[in-house]
Amino acid sequence: NIDDPDFRHLVLLDALLKRHSVSAAARELDLPQPTASHGLARLRKALGDPLLVRARDGMEPTPRAEAIAGVVQQLLELRRDLAEGGQTFSPDRLKREFIIAGSDIAHLVVLTALHSAARFEAPHTSYRALTLSGDEMVSALETGHVDIAVGAYPSLVAGIKTQRLYQEEYLCFGKEGHPFIKSGETDDFMAADHIVVSTKGMAHAHRAVERALLDKIHPDRIRIVASSFLVALAACFESDLILTAPARVIGRLAEVYGLRAVRPPILMEAFEVRQYWHARNQDDPPHRWLRQLLHKVLSAQ
């Protein structure tokens, strides 16, 4: 531990810029909230900027804060490297919260896999899930607000590195006695009532399948448009609706709900699920460990 007050304020600033919350930053650093609030006041005075300002959903960073977030993280990483004196990285000593962006089903895949794989190898690590728009995700990766994004985001390119984890395909889910589930025929598919999941604004590859469903199915047959695959699955269980969704996670949960799956009668392009990270994290040992672990557990399933 380094007790330099300037360093402590740098650590606090990093937590504040990642969490956008004094109370959340205080919890992460195990500080009394008044101490964190006093630290923020000192940082504001030293930097001549509010850093965080109140917004409708909590607090938001100022443009100055967003501009320095990446530099702050780099300084902390450099200080950490110097303090370790070249010691070999060991995940069992790692104490860090990793922030992972993605959709609800991506989080379900990733967080359960990480918990199972890392609880013995890196017992002091924890994981936080965020759902962001495409534009927000690029910014969050650049500033360090997010460590890794998992999903299918073809537009994440500039300064972003990527690695394939697995391929995902689509299935249609519904109750066992449903005419389409029994037949799998196109006519029954078109005659069925549907729930469609929308990822509008997220720059996700599912958007292409969403458009295909909205284009091919009569508008009167689109009964619900949801923003969450898990909500859509629950609605499917409670109704006679047909849900077209990625097979890997939804397929497992559909079995729990007692739903059945058939292949779509119309073409639904498969897509690659990938992990994305900013280039400046490429050689960071904890970050590299996380990427390698994710690749190992998800590509093997």
Among 12-21, 103-112, 177-186, 200-209, the minimum mean pLDDT is found in: 200-209
Among 95-99, 161-165, 242-246, 248-252, the minimum mean pLDDT is found in: 248-252
**Confidence (pLDDT) at 133:** 80
The contacts of residue 91 (CB under 8 Å, 6+ apart) are 118, 121, 122, 125, 286, 289
Q: Which burial class, exposed, middle or buried, applies to 234 when counting CB atoms under 10 A from its CB (0-12, 13-18, 19+)?
A: middle
Percent of the residues in the chain that have a pLDDT greater than 90, as a whole number: 38
CATH topology (fold) of 92-166+272-301: D-Maltodextrin-Binding Protein; domain 2 (3.40.190)
**Confidence (pLDDT) at 275:** 94
The contacts of residue 96 (CB under 8 Å, 6+ apart) are 124, 125, 126, 286
Tens digits of residue pLDDT in 215-271: 999 999 999 999 889 999 999 999 999 999 999 888 888 988 899 999 999 988 888
Half-sphere exposure of residue 164, counting CA atoms within 13 Å on the CB side? 5
- Comparing 88 with 91, the larger pLDDT belongs to 91
Out of 22-36, 171-185, 272-286, give the one with best mean pLDDT: 171-185
Q: Is the pLDDT of residue 201 over 70?
A: no
Which phi and psi angles does 102 have, rounded to 5°?
Answer: 165, -175
Q: Is the pLDDT of residue 203 over 50?
A: yes
**Confidence (pLDDT) at 4:** 46
pLDDT-based confidence at residue 301 (cuts at 50, 70, 90): low
pLDDT-based confidence at residue 175 (cuts at 50, 70, 90): very high
Q: Is the pLDDT of residue 79 over 90?
A: no
Considering the four listed CATH numbers 3.90.550.10, 3.40.50.1000, 3.40.50.720, 3.40.190.10, the one that applies to the domain covering 170-269 is 3.40.190.10
- Comparing 185 with 9, the larger pLDDT belongs to 185
Q: What is d(CA 189, CA 180) in angstroms, rounded to the nearest whole number? A: 6
The contacts of residue 236 (CB under 8 Å, 6+ apart) are 173, 174, 175, 195, 242, 243, 257, 259
Q: 153 with 204: CB under 8 angstroms?
A: yes
Angle between helix 134-143 and 63-84 (nearest 10): 40
Ranges of each domain in the chain: 1-87, 92-166+272-301, 170-269
pLDDT-based confidence at residue 87 (cuts at 50, 70, 90): low
Tens digits of residue pLDDT in 117-126: 998 899 999 9
Q: Is the pLDDT of residue 3 over 50?
A: no
CATH topology (fold) of 1-87: Arc Repressor Mutant, subunit A (1.10.10)
Which amino acid belongs to residue 118? Answer: A
**Confidence (pLDDT) at 86:** 56
Average pLDDT over residues 47-58: 86
pLDDT-based confidence at residue 1 (cuts at 50, 70, 90): very low
Average pLDDT over residues 58-66: 87
Report the chain's mean pLDDT, rounded to a whole number. Answer: 87
Global pTM value = 0.71
DSSP annotation of 48: T
CATH topology of 1-87 equal to that of 170-269?
no
